[in-house]
């Protein structure tokens, strides 16, 4: 990866379409998410995403979500890792394991680390039906921490199930970022990324990230024009080294996100940190 010639690293993108199947039509939940974000997502394979990001001179972290209620389940961790490594000039593979899989999930995580060289793990507590600080998830965290890899957690409200009957059964309570304070205290050497402006718990997320040295915040999943002022304030000051650019592609395109981010009152010396340098350091790309 030619880090010097990249303008940004998108820490948060989803692979929604398999390159191995030709009948991979959008699911009902994916279509609902499009309505929620007022945008019809483009369903692309990892190589197609890589082509897009090359044109933008950006790298991207890409993953699926391992959960029965997930919108991304038709793409496997193995496919994402293999295709990302084939496009390693811009693509960085994360994996996803539902903690409910227990010991089998831990073995799978270790296999993905050793055999597929994944660079981190994605969790979506609301989709996977677990509180992040439940002890049943700790053996999985131990495997991730042992490999010195980051864990990225969805926090706050989600577009998954939004507007559908009963919210598609998705429960928002699992995504309070304060639950990750326990995880950060118990796994002090495992980098943790709190994904998204954590509505309605933004101040909780800022508190955890300020207090725990290894906790970061990504800005994905929200249009920057809706960022609360306190988030912008902390991004400019106390958390300038721990805020990460993320789009949540395909529900928000990186170019749209950046166009709106450019309108925010972010200090000139902070912008490159958020757009690329913080992620490069966290992912050990330098």
**pLDDT tens per residue across span 71-129:** 345 799 999 999 999 999 999 999 999 999 999 999 999 999 999 999 999 999 999 99
8 Å CB contact between 74 and 21: yes
**pLDDT tens per residue across span 224-255:** 999 999 999 999 999 999 999 999 999 999 99
pLDDT value of position 278: 98
pLDDT value of position 104: 96
Q: Tell me the CA end-to-end span of the chain in Å, nearest whole number.
A: 9
Number of domains the chain contains? 1
3-state secondary structure 168-180: HHCCHHHHCCCHH
The tokens for 186 are 């118990």
Say whether pLDDT at 144 is over 60.
yes
Q: Where are the alpha helices (DSSP H) in the chain?
A: 28-36, 46-56, 77-86, 102-116, 125-128, 138-146, 179-186, 202-211, 229-236, 254-261, 271-272, 278-282
Tell me, what CATH number does 203's domain have?
Answer: 3.20.20.140
H or E element in which residue 58 lies: strand 58-63
What pTM, to 2 d.p., does this model score? 0.91
Q: Domain range spanning residue 110?
A: 3-282
CA nearest 226: which of 126, 157, 168? Answer: 157
């Amino acid at each position: 990866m030619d880090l010097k010639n990249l303008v940004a690293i998108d820490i948060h993108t989803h692979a929604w379409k398999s390159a191995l199947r030709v009948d991979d039509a959008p699911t009902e939940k994916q279509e609902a998410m499009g309505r929620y974000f007022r945008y019809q997502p483009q369903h692309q394979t990892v190589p197609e995403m890589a082509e897009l990001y090359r044109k933008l001179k950006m790298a991207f972290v890409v993953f699926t979500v391992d959960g029965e209620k997930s919108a991304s389940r038709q793409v496997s961790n193995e496919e994402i890792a293999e295709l990302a490594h084939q496009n390693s000039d811009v693509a960085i593979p994360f994996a996803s394991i539902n903690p409910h899989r227990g010991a089998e999930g831990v073995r799978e995580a270790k296999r993905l680390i050793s055999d597929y060289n994944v660079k981190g793990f994605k969790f979506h507590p609301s989709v996977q039906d677990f509180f992040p600080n439940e002890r049943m998830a700790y053996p999985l965290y131990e495997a991730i921490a042992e490999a010195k890899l980051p864990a990225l957690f969805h926090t706050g409200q989600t577009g998954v199930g939004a507007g559908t009957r009963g919210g598609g059964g998705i429960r928002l309570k699992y995504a309070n970022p304060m639950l990750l304070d326990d995880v950060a205290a118990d796994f002090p050497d495992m980098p943790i990324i709190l994904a998204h402006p954590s509505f309605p718990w933004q101040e909780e997320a800022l508190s955890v990230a300020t207090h725990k040295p290894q906790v970061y915040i990504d800005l994905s999943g929200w249009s920057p024009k809706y960022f609360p002022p306190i988030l912008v304030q902390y991004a400019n000051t106390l958390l300038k080294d721990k805020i990460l650019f993320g789009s949540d592609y395909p529900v928000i395109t990186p170019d749209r996100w950046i166009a709106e981010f450019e309108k925010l009152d972010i200090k000139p010396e902070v912008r490159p940190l958020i757009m690329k340098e913080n992620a490069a350091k966290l992912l050990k790309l330098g």
